[in-house]
Amino acid sequence: MISIENQLGLRPAMGWNSWNTFTWDINEQLIRDMADLFVTEGYKDAGYEYIVIDDCWSLKERDKDGNLVADPEKFPSGMKALADYIHSKGLKFGMYSCVGTHTCAGYPGSFEHEFQDAKLFAEWGVDYLKYDYCFKPRHISGELLYKRMSLALKNCGRDILFSACNWGADNVYQWIRESGAHMYRSTGDIRDNWDSIKELAISQLDKQCYTGSFCHNDMDMLVVGMYGGSNNDFIGRIGGCSDNEYKTHFSLWSIMGSPLMIGCDLRNANQVTKEILLNQELIAINQDLEGRGAYRIKPEPQWFHSDDVFMLVKVLTNGDLAIGFFNLSDSQRELSLQFWDLGLPYAAGFSLSLYDCWEHKELGVFRERFAPVVPARDCLIVRAKLVQ
């Protein structure tokens, strides 16, 4: 019998993607370096699995048979050899294409080549395909083009995780799960600054009912650890966040069930970056088997708080609750959680034992309410256990 645990897309994907930091400036040595670091620095052991090459990997033209061609200057050994290398490390290999005639950076897209490209990706040993939305002919629906590539991938002879990337356009929530995609971008491109993180997170708070096993809401790749280190001004060469902002970013993406795709240069990740990306308690919340979305609770008194101050609660498989106290505002706030809002009346006689997932320590046992003071742009993530 096939174990459900091994099914493609059961949990949010975890990996690294070349785009945020390197955009067009990619090559096979860089990709190999990231695979090596996944193993030596503990990312693989923590659950990170996919090494994904984003846009700008091919030549500008297909060959005479209509096949995509890897740029021989960037990838002289070819994609098959690169896939073999990544597989030899016990990792998986991801690539990128687009529903349209061209990718967003102007390389050939898979429009009207879907089955041919899926076959080629399978031959190369690809395990993951990110599928973008630029240069889409207007007469044809995106929904149909995602169905097409899904059908091609599911029948190409290899398990390939299908990562749709249409930026939340065309009410993607309403049709993407049925199309066969395992994850779907729900937002415009992230930038390496606090305003972008905050905007993307808030935009998805009322979309948590759509995310779940086998079709995860992808809030875009992580900017944790970039500190303004992109070669692309739009993403944030002059941006960058504080360590606390990166911690809050990772907490939001974890509890909201987004795939965790690292976007920084792991060759020079500092200690704080590693502690954030390798936080096992946050990763366990993100990867929880039942894959539920998180519900939002406004802190009391409700009239006092704006929309950037909220609690998120994710019901976990073993009966615990992951609770995030998020203060995305610019001033310190007390976030009061009344346990009745979790379905726990005082009269039931139970309390909650709280464990702090960033400080890695027990906070104690609380009955009726818990009201931490959270600094600006910060958060507290607890794992709560019901106790007598």
Query: For ligand GLA, which is the closer residue by CB, 165 or 309?
Result: 165
What does the per-residue mask of binding to ligand GLA show for 147-166, with x meaning CB under 6 A?
A: ------------------x-
Q: Which two tokens stand for residue 90?
A: 């016990």
Query: For ligand GLA, which is the closer residue by CB, 55 or 117?
Result: 55
Stretch that binds ligand GLA, among 59-67, 99-107, 147-155, 300-308 (CB under 6 A): 99-107
235 binds ligand GLA (CB under 6 A): no
In the complex, what is the shortest distance from the CB of residue 149 to ligand GLA, in angstroms, rounded to a whole number?
A: 15
The verdict on whether 192 is a catalytic residue reads no
DSSP code, position 336: B
CB 328 within 8 A of CB 309: yes
**Helical residues (DSSP H) of the chain, grouped into ranges:** 19-22, 28-40, 43-46, 79-88, 114-124, 142-154, 176-179, 194-203, 243-255, 271-277, 280-286
Count of other CB atoms within 10 angstroms of residue 134? 18
189 binds ligand GLA (CB under 6 A): yes
187 SS3 class: coil
54 binds ligand GLA (CB under 6 A): yes
Report how far residue 362's alpha carbon sits from residue 383's, in angstroms, rounded to the nearest whole number. Answer: 9
Question: 79, 91, 104, 269: which one contacts ligand GLA (CB under 6 A)?
Answer: 104
- Please identify which of the residues 55, 127, 132, 378 carries the catalytic annotation: 132
DSSP code, position 298: P
The verdict on whether 127 is a catalytic residue reads no
16 binds ligand GLA (CB under 6 A): no
Q: Is 121 exposed, middle or buried (0-12, 13-18, 19+ CB in 10 A)?
A: buried
Q: β-strands 260-262, 92-98: how paired?
A: unpaired
Stretch that binds ligand GLA, among 103-111, 168-176, 319-327, 376-384 (CB under 6 A): 103-111
In the complex, what is the shortest distance from the CB of residue 1 to ligand GLA, in angstroms, rounded to a whole number?
A: 37
Active-site positions read: 132, 189
Binding site for ligand GLA (CB under 6 A): 19, 54-55, 103-105, 132, 165, 167, 189
